[in-house]
Amino acid sequence: MHRVGWFLEGLPTRWAGQRVLVIGHVATRWAFDHLLNGVDLEDLIEADFGWRKGWEYQLDEAKWGLRCSEPDTPADAGS
């Protein structure tokens, strides 16, 4: 969730007005559905998976002011 949030935060700065192709897995799709469309994660996890030939999401740049906190890192990370 954090990584997708960081990715979405950078889109308006780096790719304003552009269409961006994202290749990911089901967790990436869940993060998009949750962060962009407000779908509860529990609902996404419990729902049947129906494959479609691509999903499209629209980033509302005026609304996208989300700031994701840094992911938890172990105290001994990097040592």
- Residue-wise pLDDT tens digits, 43-76: 998 998 877 777 888 887 676 654 444 444 444 4
Cβ 9 vs Cβ 3: under 8 Å: no
pTM: 0.70
Question: At a CB cut-off of 8 Å and minimum separation 6, what does 72 contact?
Answer: none
Predicted confidence (pLDDT) per residue in 8-47, tens digit? 988 888 887 888 999 988 899 999 999 999 999 999 989 9
Residue of 22, 26, 18 lying closest to 7 (CA atoms)? 22
